Structure 1
Amino acid sequence: MTDADARARVARAFDETPRPGFLRPAERALAGLDGALSIGWGQTNSQPRTVAAMLTLLDARPGQRVLDVGAGSGWTTALLAHLVGETGAVLGVERVPELVRWGAANLDAVARPWARIRAAARGVLGAPEEAPFDRILVSAMADELPADLIDQLAPGGRLVVPVDGAMVLVALDGERRAAISRSGGYVFVPLIRDAPPPPEG
């Protein structure tokens, strides 16, 4: 599959997964802006152009198992569900309990039952008990490349994660040898694996 094919598949996923359904009412009028929007609790719904770039790098394909780290409002989880289709499976993990509930409800509204969102385990990055995954997407900035997520990839798998300001793609071959590439300059909320933040107030 070429980059053009991947971009076209991502564009179709965007068309079938409108952003307003994953925003708070106060932000829905801003859904068409190419910028990050608050979803509360210090988290954001990422800039559409950035999400599209990440999904193109990830190259999720029909039938694959995908992990979405930092599911937030559920938008990326729903986009991934469109890309893998009903023969695939998507698991979103999220550390903020209120966002777990809201994101799951948003996901239910688009009727893609092969995708789900659950609470992230405290102190655990990803979902090692459900690994391996063919693709892993991370929507928060890591200080360094998270080796524990690479361990959760299947042979031939791909991980896309922002690290220290750059977008990093880790691509494993069939022998689990990793090719690592970096691109761009990005800003995300920080990747955290400890207790959730205090209630918004």
Structure 2
Amino acid sequence: MDDAVRAAFEAVPRADFLPRTQRWRAGFDGPIGIGHGQTNSQPRTVATMLTLLDVRPGQRVLDVGSGSGWTTALLGHLVGSTGTVLGVELEPELAIWGARNLSRTGMSQASIRVAEAGVLGAPIEAPWDRILVSAGVSTLPWVLVDQLAPQGLMVIPVGGRLTTAALEAGTIRTTGHGPYLFVPLR
């Protein structure tokens, strides 16, 4: 875990993004159910994803599958007050809960909303410098690649491997890291 990600983890306690009945498990290095068939991901996995994503202050970041809001808050810490983070969550109740959790952090640069049905990501607000996807897919979704800014980077679980997709000079370069298990992207 790099220093910036470590600082984000220290600034954004996982317990604040877990159901009250599960907060005592915040130090558990494994996924924790948050309802609606979703989980708050394993901290070690989140740290790996954020390290691979290489978020910088001032960047615009999209968090697909924001769930409890923890990754959105971590990303908000990484982009700082000059950046922007938008979390999108398909399950309305989780989006509302995640936004409430996020609001307690005081980070005005980060927000969460309900994902638009049938729309992957947030293409209207694109391009994004970084995209984090916290749900698994079988193939790289080009609709998200198209939302990357020039020199943009996405981290997404593809076929059971964390995949980085970097947009360089108009072409996409992917690398795989893994194996990892995620809930499926819907």
| Residues in 2 aligned to 1:85 and 1:37: alpha-carbon distance in whole angstroms | 27
For residue 60 of structure 2, what is the aligned residue in structure 1?
65
For residue 198 of structure 1, what is the aligned residue in structure 2?
none
For residue 144 of structure 1, what is the aligned residue in structure 2?
139
| Residues in 2 aligned to 1:79 and 1:69: alpha-carbon distance in whole angstroms | 14
Amino acid at match of 1:170: A
Query: What is the TM-score with the length of structure 2 in the denominator?
Result: 0.99
Q: Find 1:184's aligned residue among 171, 178, 182.
A: 178
| Residues in 1 aligned to 2:41 and 2:177: alpha-carbon distance in whole angstroms | 17
Q: Find 2:33's aligned residue among 31, 38, 46.
A: 38
Runs of 4+ in 1 over 6 A off after TM superposition: none
* Structure 1 vs Structure 2 CA RMSD: 0.7
For structure 1, list consecutive stretches of 5 or more residues without a partner in the other structure. 1-5, 193-201
- Report deviation, 1:176: 2.2
Amino acid at match of 2:30: G
| Residues in 2 aligned to 1:32 and 1:130: alpha-carbon distance in whole angstroms | 35
- Report deviation, 1:184: 1.0
- Report deviation, 1:172: 1.3
Query: What is the TM-score with the length of structure 1 in the denominator?
Result: 0.91
Q: Find 1:94's aligned residue among 89, 92, 97.
A: 89
Alignment of 1:91-170 (within 5 A): 91-170=86-165
**C-alpha distance after superposition, 1:125-179 (max 9, x if no partner):** 0000100000000000011111100000000000000011001001112x22211
For residue 195 of structure 1, what is the aligned residue in structure 2?
none
How many pairs are equivalent?
186
Q: Secondary structure at the match of 1:102?
A: helix
For residue 85 of structure 1, what is the aligned residue in structure 2?
80
- Report deviation, 1:83: 0.2
Q: Secondary structure at the match of 2:2?
A: helix
1:47 aligns with 2:42: yes
| Residues in 1 aligned to 2:12 and 2:153: alpha-carbon distance in whole angstroms | 23
| Residues in 1 aligned to 2:21 and 2:45: alpha-carbon distance in whole angstroms | 22
1:9 aligns with 2:4: yes
